[in-house]
């Protein structure tokens, strides 16, 4: 198989795995919530089930990361995901067929745990086998397609199609397609049995803090809006807005990580905007739309930041699902906390302002650390690849600026034509073909890992 064809198979196969796995997860989650509500009622019991789902998934993701770190050849191999697929079928059948609340609850827990293990697998798969641009494209496209397709399927047969036991056959067929795709793609297992040696990557604690604060802020906005309007807004509408957020964020992150980061931070002003929008029905629609658009944006960020880190240094592949783990854990704890204590709108505003200021400080510290690391090691990088003095200057300014070629040339007091000559020489010496590839190479060398 040619290299181009192999890459196409890898990207397409990864896309099918992520799309169908996420589709199955969202559909079965809707069914299990419906089935559980028949036995345990709605209201507080339903919220408890949501919390349970989030925390069980967080536990499954934590287990997968620890297991993969210890035995990557086992937990990154095809056979483990095929085993997950078998458990999927068993747990789905249990959710549909059991006639007792305890049985449905037991199989719901089994399904959520297995779904989390499956998510851990395909996050590692994307980080290990695709480059940064391919990862973002596959993630955003797969989640968008699965969101819209899943919401459309919930409307088939007047909304009753999903809740028929015969639908188990549809899930079995989808799982067969997923299994076939898993057998076609290259597995994510690294070359060596030890996935990680020593400590974690630089700035890991800082990035974890940023992601946790982000999802707390999102939880405040979600609690203010979702419970109030979710019954009035169609499932297709909210999943469509989620797809809009995924697509827009992916587009910006593909152009510039910094632009994507800025969009993510701005989206977290949402809880402060909520009170101003709650005036009439039109504003309610806008409010609800923004909630799901911003959810898509945050989802892309929490995927990108850890997938880049894992993809640039294979010792840390086990960290690829970390963003999803932090989201599930934070949302589960926050929903439980807010349900028990029901903070007032004033308290939410004060907490939002405080945490948003803390988030800005964390981001500024992260950017300073990145700049310091680049300034410290760019000279060594230039020596390693035999860059001339002028090429080293060009490389140094690329590290510190997202400017276009015309602006870069002006900063260096040279023509654009001369700039391109230097860039082509740098690409040739480093074996890269673009500024993004050059930066990824730099952030993956020495002690520097991606952020």
Q: What is the pLDDT of residues 384-399, one digit of tens each?
A: 888 898 888 888 888 7
104: CB partners within 8 A, 6+ apart: 32, 35, 36, 39, 94, 95, 98
Please give the Cα distance from 303 to 127 (Å, whole number).
10
- The CATH number of domain 385-443 is 1.10.10.10: yes
- Scan for tokens 């192999």, then name that residue: 6
CA distance 249 to 259: 9
Two tokens, residue 369: 């650390």
CA distances from 42 to 34, 37, 219 (A): 9, 5, 21
Q: How far apart are the first and last CA of the chain?
A: 34
CA angle 389, 390, 393 (to 5 degrees): 90
**Domain layout of the chain by residue ranges:** 7-186+201-365, 385-443
Q: Which residues contact 38 (CB under 8 A, 6 or more apart)?
A: none
**Burial of residue 194, with CB atoms counted within 10 A of its CB: 0-12 exposed, 13-18 middle, 19 or more buried:** exposed
φ and ψ at residue 355, rounded to 5 degrees:
-75, -30
Among 25, 3, 5, which residue's Cα sits nearest to residue 121? 25
pLDDT means per 10 residues, the chain with 451 residues, are 73 90 88 82 73 93 94 90 91 88 90 93 92 91 92 77 82 90 80 52 85 87 59 70 92 84 82 61 69 90 91 86 94 86 79 85 77 64 86 84 80 87 89 76 49 38
CB 331 within 8 A of CB 219: yes
For residue 56, the model assigns a pLDDT of: 95
* Residue 445: predicted pLDDT: 43
Minimal CA–CA distance to 132: which of 11, 50, 280, 42?
11
Answer positive or negative: Cα dihedral of 324, 326, 328, 330. Answer: negative
Give the HSE-up count for residue 393: Cα atoms under 13 Å, Cβ half-sphere.
Answer: 10
Supply the CATH classification number for the domain 7-186+201-365: 1.20.1250.20
Contact 313, 326 (CB under 8 A): no
H, E, C per residue of 208-268? HHHHHHHHHHHHHHHHHHHHHHCCCCCHHHHHHHHHHHHHHHHHHHHHCHHHHHHHHHHHC
Q: How many CB atoms lie within 10 A of CB 425?
A: 15
């Amino acid at each position: 198989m040619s290299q181009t064809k192999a890459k196409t198979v890898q990207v397409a196969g990864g896309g099918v795995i992520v799309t169908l796995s996420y589709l199955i997860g969202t559909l079965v989650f809707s069914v299990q919530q419906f089935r559980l509500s028949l036995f345990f009622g709605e209201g507080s019991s339903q919220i408890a089930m949501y919390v349970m789902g989030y925390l069980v998934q967080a536990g499954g993701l934590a287990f997968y990361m620890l297991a993969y770190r210890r035995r990557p050849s086992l937990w990154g191999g095809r056979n483990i995901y095929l085993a997950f697929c078998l458990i999927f079928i068993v747990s789905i059948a249990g959710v549909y067929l059991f006639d007792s609340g305890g049985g449905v609850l037991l199989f719901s827990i089994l399904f959520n745990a297995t779904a989390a293990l499956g998510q851990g697998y395909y996050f590692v798969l994307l980080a290990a086998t695709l480059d940064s641009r391919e990862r973002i494209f596959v993630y955003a496209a797969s989640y968008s397609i699965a969101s819209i397709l899943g919401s459309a399927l919930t409307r088939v047969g007047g909304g009753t199609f999903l809740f028929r036991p015969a639908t188990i056959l549809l899930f079995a067929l989808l799982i067969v397609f997923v299994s076939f795709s898993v057998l076609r793609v290259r597995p994510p297992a690294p070359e060596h049995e030890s996935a990680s040696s020593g400590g974690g990557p630089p700035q890991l604690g800082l990035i974890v803090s940023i992601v946790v604060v982000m999802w707390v802020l999102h939880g405040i906005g979600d609690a203010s809006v979702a419970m109030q309007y979710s019954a009035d807004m169609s499932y297709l509408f909210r999943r469509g807005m989620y797809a809009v957020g995924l697509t827009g964020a992916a587009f910006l992150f593909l152009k510039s990580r910094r632009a994507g980061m800025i969009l993510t931070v701005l989206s977290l002003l949402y809880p402060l905007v909520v009170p101003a929008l709650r005036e009439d029905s039109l504003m309610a629609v806008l409010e609800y739309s923004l909630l799901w658009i911003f959810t898509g944006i945050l989802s892309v960020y929490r995927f990108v930041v850890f997938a880049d880190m894992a993809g640039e240094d294979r010792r840390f592949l086990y960290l690829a699902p970390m963003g999803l783990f932090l989201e599930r854990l934070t949302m589960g704890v926050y929903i439980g906390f807010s349900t028990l204590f029901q903070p007032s709108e004033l308290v939410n505003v004060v907490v939002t302002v405080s945490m948003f200021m803390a988030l800005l400080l964390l981001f500024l510290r992260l950017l300073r650390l990145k700049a310091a690391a680049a300034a410290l090691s760019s000279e060594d990088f230039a020596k390693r690849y035999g860059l001339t003095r002028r090429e080293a200057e060009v490389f140094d300014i690329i590290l510190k600026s997202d400017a276009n070629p015309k602006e870069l040339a002006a900063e260096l007091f040279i023509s654009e034509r001369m700039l391109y000559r230097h860039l082509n020489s740098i690409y040739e010496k480093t074996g890269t073909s673009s500024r993004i590839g050059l930066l990824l190479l730099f952030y993956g060398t020495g002690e520097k890992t991606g952020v």
